[in-house]
Chain A
Amino acid sequence: MKRKVLLIGWDSADWKMIDQLMDAGLMPAMKRVVDNGVRARFATLDPPLSPMLWTTMATGKRPFKHGILGFVESDGSGGLRPISSYGRKVNAFWNMFTKEGLKTNVVGWWPSNPVESINGVMVSNLFQQEKKKGKHLDMSEWTVEPGMVYPEEYADQLGELRIHLSEIFGAMVQPFVPKAKELDEKKDMRLNLISKFLAHSGTLHAVCTELMETTEWDVMAVYHDALDHFSHTFMRYNPPKMNKVSDEDFHYFKDVVKGAYIYHDMMLERLLNMIDENTTVVICSDHGFHSDHLRPEVIPKTPAGPAAEHSPYGIFAAMGPGIKKGETIYGAKVLDLTPTLLTLFDLPVGKDMDGKPLLDMYEDPKEVKYIDSWENDTRYGGELVIKDTGSSSADTESALQQLIDLGYIDDINEGEGEADAADAEGPEDAKEKMKQRLRDTLRESSYYLAKSYISAGLYEEALEVLLEIENREKPEQRYLIEIIKAATKTKRYALAEEYIKFVKTKKLLSPQYIDTLEANVLVGLNRAGEALSLLEKSFKVFPDSQEIAMDYGRLLNMLNQSVRAKEIYAHILKEDPQNHLAYQGYGLAALRNEEYELALEYLLKSIDLIYHNPKAHLLLGETLVMMREYEMAISSFEVVEALAPNLPKSYLWLYDLHTILGNEESAKKYKSIVDGLSKGEKIILTGLPSEKLAQVMKNLREMGYNISGEEADFNRKDINVLEKGWMEELKGDVIYMPTHLIPSLPPRFFYRILYVNENVETATAYLNKMNKIRQNTYNQEFLDGLKLQDRNVKVWIDQQPLLDVYYIDQLENLDDVLLKQFIAI
C-alpha cells in the first residue's frame, strides 16, 4: 500500500474559530478530519510573519538557517520585490521528496517564486496575483509569466483556471456580507477585498484539484493565504463587537470571517472527496489569529505591525492510515512539519533540523531514521527555473501592493506609480527615496533575523545583528528594547545601562516600561531588592502587561516569595490561559511552597502546551522527587537529558535517584557524567547566623561529616576569595560559608548548597547574643542589611547552572532520605 500525502496550509487558521464552527455543525469536513485523526495546537515562532514561518514549515529550520526574512527583499538592482525563493538557503520538503523520487506537486507556497524544477508540478505564490498596470487591472494582459509554473508546458492549462477579480460578482460575496447590495451602492472598498481574496483562493483551489485529477502524485501540497487576509481585514467586526467598531460596520461585516472559515471547509470537503484511503491528510497553519477579547485595540504602526493580531498557536490536524483517531497530541510546533512529513514516508530526518517529528500521532511506535543533513545529499532535488536577474516586474508590483494593502509594509509612493512620484519630485528625489526604502527594508530584515535568533535563545548572535542596525540618529523603539534585553541576557550590564540611559534621556519609552527593563539588569547585578521595587511599581501601573507580570513573577520566585508569585501567575493565566511559562512559574511557586499536587498540575499543563521546554520537565522531576515518585522523576529527568544535554542538574538528580533506588550501573554512569562536567563537587553549608545553623553544623558533625568552618567564626575571616585557588585548598566534606561569600564561589565546580532558612529577626538576636550585646538592641539598618543579603544570595543561587540547593527549614530535615543522598560523600 503506497502512502500519499495531501498537505493543506491555511494561513492563520485558529482552533478557537474552528471549534466554534465545528460545534455548530458549520465545518463538517474539518470535523471529519479531527474525529478520524489527531489534532494539535501548532506553536508558532517569533516573529510570527508568514513567509518566514511557511519556509520554516517547509524546511524544519529556523529563519536564521533558511534565510527567508520578512515580506520584501532587495531585488539586487536598487529596488524592492516581494520575498522570493532566491533567498532560501536550504532544502525544502519538495527538494527532499524529489531526491527520493516521490512525485510532489506544490501550489502557492509562500514564498515559491520562481518555482523549482522538482519531480512534480510547482505553481508559485505569484501565479494568482493580477497584473497591475498603473492603477488598472487588465484581464487581457494577464499572462502566466516565466517562473510561475514548472514544468512550463503546464502554464497554459493551469493559466486557464485562474479566476480574475472582475469575474467575482455580487452574489458570490453575499454569503459573506448578506447585505452587500446596500454597501455596493456606497462603493465600499471592503467588498472589493472580499472579491480579491475569493479570486485568489478560488484559483489555488482550482489548480490543486486539477493537479490531483490529472497528475500522478505522492505528495500534493497547497497553501492558501486567504484566511489571513480575511482575518486581518474583518476579524475586528467579528462578534463580540469591539468598542471601537461602529454599529453599522458590525452589522454588515460581523459574519465575514465566519464565512471565510466555512468557505475553506467547503474547499476541504471537495479535496477529501477526491482522495483514497491510502492518503494521509495534513492540515496546518503557521500561527493563529485572535478572535476574542485578546484582539488588540490598536495595531502598532510599525512594519509588520498587523502581526500583533496573530495568536501564538496555529492548527495541526492529520488523518490517515496508521494515525490515531480522535486524539489530541501535545507539544507540536511549526518547526515539526517537515520532520513529520519525512516520517510519513519513512525518510530520515536531518539532525540539523530544529524540529522533531510528531511521533505521538502514530498508532504504533515509529522508529525514526536520522542523517546529519539533507544539505549534504547531492542527488538532484530541483533548481530554480530562473536565475536571479535582479529586477522587479509588474507582476511583483501587484504582490507588493497586496502587502501594502494589508499594512505589512509602508507605501512610500502613497498608491502612485513610481514614475509619477519621480515626475512630481524630480528623479533624484525619487531615487534617494527608493534608496532609503531599500536601506529600511534591509534593516528590518536584519531585525527579523535578530528576532529569530532570540526565539532560539541565541542572544549573543541577536545582539551582534541588532547593534549593527541600531542608529542613534534614527532611533527605533523595537530595536532598542531588544538590544537592552539581549545585553541583559548576555550579562553585558554596562551596555544595557548605556541604552537605558539613552532611552530615558530621549524619552523613547514609557518610564514604567524602562523600569521593567532596568529591573532585569538589577537582578543580573545582584541588586534584587531594587529590582523588586521597580517591578512592583510597574505592575501597579500596567496590571494588564503580560511581560511586566511575567518578569515580576519570575523575580518573586527567585526571592522565594511563592505566595505572591502564585497570585501574579494566576493573574496572568486569567488573561491568557495558554501561557505555558506562566503555568511553569506557578508550578515552581507551588513547589517552593510545598504544594506538590498543585505544582504537578500546573507543570503538566505547561508541558502540554509546550513540550520542548527542559526547565518545565526539570521542575516536574523535582516535584515528583518531593512526592517520592522516584521512578517517574527519573523519566522526567531523562527527558531533560534528551532536550538539554548541557543542563547539568538533571545528571545530578539522575545520579542521586539511581543511588537511592540501588541501580548501581546507572548511578555509576551518571556519576561519571557529573565528574566529567566539572572540577568536582563541593557541598556548601550556608544561611544567616542562627541557633539553627549552629545546630545543623553540630548534627552534621555527629553524623560523621568533617566540616570546614567553625560556629565561632561565622564570617570565616580565614577565607580570602581574592586569592587564586582558595576553594581547592579548603578541606572537609562540607564547607561552611557565610551567605555574603556565596556569590564568590568560583566556577567549574558543582555545588550542592545546604541553605538553612532562618528569619532575620532570630538571626539578629543570635548575633547579638554571640557578640554579647543587650538582647533587645534594635538596629533597623542591620536588619535590612541582613534581609537584603539573604534575598540577593537566593537570587544569585537561582541563576547558577552548576548549583543545586536544598533549603533546610527544620532540624528534622536532616533525617530526610533525600537530604542524606544530597550530601552523601
Chain B
Amino acid sequence: MKDVVVVTGLPRSGTSLMMQILEKAGLPILQDGIRESDISNPQGYYELEAVKGIVRDNSFLKNAEGKVVKIVTPLPIHVDMSKTYKMVFMRRDLEEILRSQEKMLNKDQVSEREKFRTIYEFHLKKTYRFFKENNIPFIDINYNELMSDSTTSLEKLKGFLGIEKSTEELLEVLNPELYRNRNEGK
C-alpha cells in the first residue's frame, strides 16, 4: 500500500508552496480545483473542499494513496487510520504567520495576536502529539530555511519522500517574490 503524502502546517506557513514543489516533483495531487487562486496566493491553494469536512467524513482519503493532499493543522488528527502516511510539516515563524494572515484577511488583529499565537501553539502541539503517538513519519520543513537555503531543505525533502527529480528543477518553483510580508509591519 502506498503512503498518502500530507502537507500540513498552519495556514500561511508555506503549505501551498510545498504543494507546488511536490507537483513539480511529479507527485500526483489530490484536488478538485474548486477554490481558485486569488491575489494572496497567486499559485493557487491546492485545497480540496472535502478536507474541510474531515471531522465528520474522511472518506476522501480512500482515493489518496500515492497522492499528495494538503490538510492544515490540527486537522491531520482526523485522518483515516487504515491508511499509511508521510507528513510534510511546514513550519514558519509564528509572528510572520500572524502578520501574513492579518494581511490576507485585511484585518488588524494586534489586539488578538496572543490569542491566535496560543491557539496555533496548541494546534502544532496537538498535531505533533498525534504523529508521535501513532508513529506517523514526518519531517519539518522550515519556510524561512526553504527560502534562504533551498538546496539543503529540498535535499531533506527528497530523502524523506524518495523523490528522484533533480534539485535544480525543484528550485524553479521557489519564486522569491512569493516570500512576501516577511518584513512588513516590523
CA distance A464 to B114 in the complex (A): 13
Q: B112 is contacted by which of A464, A487, A492, A498 (Cβ under 8 Å)?
A: A498
A502 to chain B: which residues have CB within 8 Å?
111
Query: Is A470 engaged at the interface, CB distance under 8 Å to the other chain?
Result: yes
B118 to chain A: which residues have CB within 8 Å?
463, 467, 487, 492, 495
> Nearest A residue to B109 by beta-carbon distance?
A472
Q: Which residues of B in the span 87-120 have a Cβ within 8 Å of any Cβ on A?
A: 111-115, 117-119
A498 to chain B: which residues have CB within 8 Å?
111-115
Verify B111–A467 contact, CB threshold 8 A: no
> Nearest B residue to A464 by beta-carbon distance?
B122
Q: Which residues of A in the span 631-682 have a Cβ within 8 Å of any Cβ on B?
A: none
Verify A468–B114 contact, CB threshold 8 A: no
Query: Is A494 engaged at the interface, CB distance under 8 Å to the other chain?
Result: yes
Closest chain-A Cβ to B114's Cβ sits at a distance in Å of 4
> Nearest B residue to A505 by beta-carbon distance?
B111
CA distance A499 to B122 in the complex (A): 18
A464 to chain B: which residues have CB within 8 Å?
119, 122, 126
A497, A498, A499 pick with most chain B CB within 10 angstroms: A498
Closest chain-B Cβ to A500's Cβ sits at a distance in Å of 11
A467 to chain B: which residues have CB within 8 Å?
115, 118-119, 122
B115 to chain A: which residues have CB within 8 Å?
467, 470, 495, 498-499
Closest chain-B Cβ to A743's Cβ sits at a distance in Å of 23
Closest chain-B Cβ to A464's Cβ sits at a distance in Å of 5
B114 to chain A: which residues have CB within 8 Å?
492, 494-495, 497-498
Interface size on A, residues (CB 8 A): 15
| CB 8 Å contact bits of A476-502 with B (1 = contact, 0 = none) | 000000000001000010110111011
What DSSP secondary structure best describes chain A's contact surface?
Answer: helix
Verify B112–A472 contact, CB threshold 8 A: yes
Closest chain-B Cβ to A211's Cβ sits at a distance in Å of 41
> Nearest B residue to A460 by beta-carbon distance?
B122
B111 to chain A: which residues have CB within 8 Å?
498, 501-502
CA distance A497 to B114 in the complex (A): 9
Q: Which residues of B in the span 128-174 have a Cβ within 8 Å of any Cβ on A?
A: none
| CB 8 Å contact bits of B60-75 with A (1 = contact, 0 = none) | 0000000000000000
A472 to chain B: which residues have CB within 8 Å?
112
B111, B112, B115, B119 pick with most chain A CB within 10 angstroms: B115
A468 to chain B: which residues have CB within 8 Å?
119
A499 to chain B: which residues have CB within 8 Å?
115
B113 to chain A: which residues have CB within 8 Å?
498
CA distance A227 to B114 in the complex (A): 46
> Nearest B residue to A467 by beta-carbon distance?
B119
Closest chain-B Cβ to A27's Cβ sits at a distance in Å of 51
Closest chain-B Cβ to A502's Cβ sits at a distance in Å of 7
CA distance A468 to B113 in the complex (A): 14
A487 to chain B: which residues have CB within 8 Å?
118
Q: Which residues of A in the span 441-495 have a Cβ within 8 Å of any Cβ on B?
A: 463-464, 467-468, 470, 472, 487, 492, 494-495
CA distance A467 to B119 in the complex (A): 7
CA distance A117 to B118 in the complex (A): 45
CA distance A219 to B119 in the complex (A): 47
Closest chain-B Cβ to A681's Cβ sits at a distance in Å of 32
Which 9 A-B pairs have CB atoms at the shortest separation, nearest pair first?
Answer: A498-B114, A495-B114, A464-B122, A494-B114, A467-B119, A495-B118, A467-B115, A467-B118, A492-B118
Which residues of A are at the interface with B, using a C-beta cutoff of 8 A? 463-464, 467-468, 470, 472, 487, 492, 494-495, 497-499, 501-502
| Cross-chain pairs A/B with CB under 8 angstroms, 28 sampled | A463-B118, A463-B122, A464-B119, A464-B122, A464-B126, A467-B115, A467-B118, A467-B119, A467-B122, A468-B119, A470-B115, A472-B112, A487-B118, A492-B114, A492-B118, A494-B114, A495-B114, A495-B115, A495-B117, A495-B118, A497-B114, A498-B111, A498-B112, A498-B113, A498-B114, A498-B115, A499-B115, A502-B111
Q: A467-B115, A498-B112, A498-B115 are in contact. List 7 more A-B contacts (CB 8 A).
A: A463-B122, A464-B119, A470-B115, A495-B118, A498-B111, A498-B114, A502-B111
